[in-house]
Amino acid sequence: MTVCPLPAATPAAQGVDAAGVLALLDALEAEPDIEMHSLMVLRHGHVVAAGWWAPYAPERRHLLYSLSKSFTATAAAFALDDGLIGLDEPVLTHFPEFEADITDPRSRAMLIRHVATMSSGHLAETVDDAYGTDPAEPVRGFLLQPPQRDPGTVFAYNQPTTYTLAAILQKVTGQPLTEYLRPRLFDPLGIGEAAWLRDGTGRELGFSGLHLTTEDVARFGELYLRDGVWQGRRLLPEGWVAEASRAHVPTGGAMGGTDRQDWDQGYGIQFWRSRNGFRGDGAFGQFCLVLPEQDAVVVTTAATEEMQTLLNHVWKHLLPAFRPAPLPGAQDAALADRLARLALPPATGKAAPPERPEAWAGASFSPYGGVCADQPGLSGVEVTPGADGWTVTLGENGHRLGLALGTGGWAVAEEPLPVAVSGGWTDPDTLVVETLFLETPHRLVLTCSLPDRTFTARWRHAPLHRPPLGRLRAPLTPGPPA
């Protein structure tokens, strides 16, 4: 499939003040708890700013976490249009094999509409209970959790609702979500390889686990900005975008915290309302912001728990940059130069031990305290020299992952999985290695202490699915269970 790039233009030509984008970059990079991986801004259908913080790159797919939900909703739109489902059908009609088990009247009354809008009647997340009750069939496990309120009356951010919707879609279509979406969404938009994590049932998760590039997400956002029309061709059913993006259920205070304004605007069909427009939203800063009033789309990939802060900076610096007419463009060149030079700073440390390299050569390390709390399966570390530099090998559940330190900066490797490694010896007795798992938001910081032959490993932001290290990548096709 030949994919045409999205049309590009200077910010000024599309009425965007480049100074505002520069101010946004300044603000985000000044935040110690926000690590940006990519930013793309579209205005009037044109890419006016796009940048990746090296070693992240344009062609790299990135784990979207719950931004995946918006793609599940889109699959539901096609299934509705194909006559395969109806929003007012009881969930149980698609799982007659559970009919005798599900006796709670509220569970029996739950409609597809309710799981699509996270208004199942539960008051809190049920994912652990659902998988814990029936690991072999999480839909049954979910339906065995009695809702505390009538379905349709209350919101709770609840992964099994989306999982159940995705299970219904895969059941009625007879296909994984990626296969069903390929001719209807991915190919028309020019989206390349899409990978979605599966669980032990073999289903694609639906609520999380989709890996796409930044530009893929931007194309998706542009489709929703254009009311489901792509290059003059209607892809989504007429009226779907308005239905999916309106607030179906209030969410005020539902996500907790004292500064969650953009989570208090209401929930649609697997889309959040925002103080400006609406959005697909994934953990750690994976955003697809659709801004109809500004005729714009903003996409970010990142690693942060300060997601409201990230949005606050977008609203503060970028929104005022959208102007009604073309501009002179005095800052366009400065912005283009800045975007081309974006990079995450490498970790500090010397590429070889400053003293006694023979003591480090072949040294083995055990978890400090006997177990690695952040990654319990990680049981040992070995450090070995080679012709091209030093290698740190991690042992986890019988598998080994070698990380080449290189000679400075980020050393990028594609096999056995895409990683970037940086670090070295901070003193004669201490080796610190930072590893970016490049198809995810995640960074592991490993510290080895020579005197006591122990190591610690901590996540900057722990993976939500808690997989083995070797699975921190876009899954192969067909993917292994998550």
The string of pLDDT tens digits covering residues 391-416 is 999 999 999 999 999 778 999 999 99
Query: Residues 375, 377, 383, CA angle at the centre, nearest 5°?
Result: 85
Distance from the first to the final alpha carbon of the chain: 29
Question: Does the pLDDT of residue 257 top 60, yes or no?
Answer: no
- How confident is the model over 433-451, as a mean pLDDT? 98
* pLDDT attached to residue 254: 67
* Residues 258 and 188 occupy one common structural domain: yes
- How confident is the model over 284-303, as a mean pLDDT? 98
Residues linked to residue 427 through DSSP beta bridges, in sequence order: 430
CA 481 to each of CA 92, 165, 193, 215: distance values in angstroms, whole numbers, following the listed order = 25, 19, 18, 27
pLDDT category, 235, cuts 50, 70, 90? very high
- Count of structural domains within the chain: 2
- Is the residue at 33 inside a domain? yes
Q: Would you tell me how many other CB atoms lie within 10 Å of the CB of residue 163?
A: 28
Please say whether the beta carbons of 432 and 349 come within 8 A. Answer: yes
- Is the residue at 87 inside a domain? no
Q: Provide the domain limits for residue 36.
A: 12-82+167-340
Q: Could you give the CA distance from residue 142 to residue 167 in angstroms, rounded to a whole number? A: 12
- Is the residue at 149 inside a domain? no
Q: Could you give the CA distance from residue 76 to residue 57 in angstroms, rounded to a whole number? A: 31
Q: Which helix (H) or strand (E) holds 233?
A: strand 233-234
* Residues 335 and 414 occupy one common structural domain: no
Please say whether the beta carbons of 126 and 142 come within 8 A. Answer: yes
**287: three-class secondary structure by DSSP:** strand
* Residues 219 and 259 occupy one common structural domain: yes
Is the Cα dihedral 149, 262, 311, 306 positive or negative?
A: negative
* Residues 171 and 30 occupy one common structural domain: yes
* Residues 392 and 318 occupy one common structural domain: no
Using a pLDDT cut of 70, give the percent of the chain over it.
Answer: 97
* Residues 207 and 318 occupy one common structural domain: yes
* Residues 220 and 321 occupy one common structural domain: yes
The predicted model scores a pTM of: 0.96
pLDDT category, 479, cuts 50, 70, 90? very low
* Residues 334 and 451 occupy one common structural domain: no
Peptide bond into 478 cis (omega under 30): yes
- Is the residue at 153 inside a domain? no
- How confident is the model over 471-482, as a mean pLDDT? 71
pLDDT category, 308, cuts 50, 70, 90? very high
State the chain's mean pLDDT as an integer.
96
405 versus 2: which is more confidently predicted? 405
pLDDT category, 129, cuts 50, 70, 90? very high
* Residues 279 and 374 occupy one common structural domain: no
pLDDT category, 255, cuts 50, 70, 90? low
Question: Does the pLDDT of residue 480 top 50, yes or no?
Answer: no
* pLDDT attached to residue 172: 98
Residue 253 is classified by DSSP as: T
- Is the residue at 252 inside a domain? yes
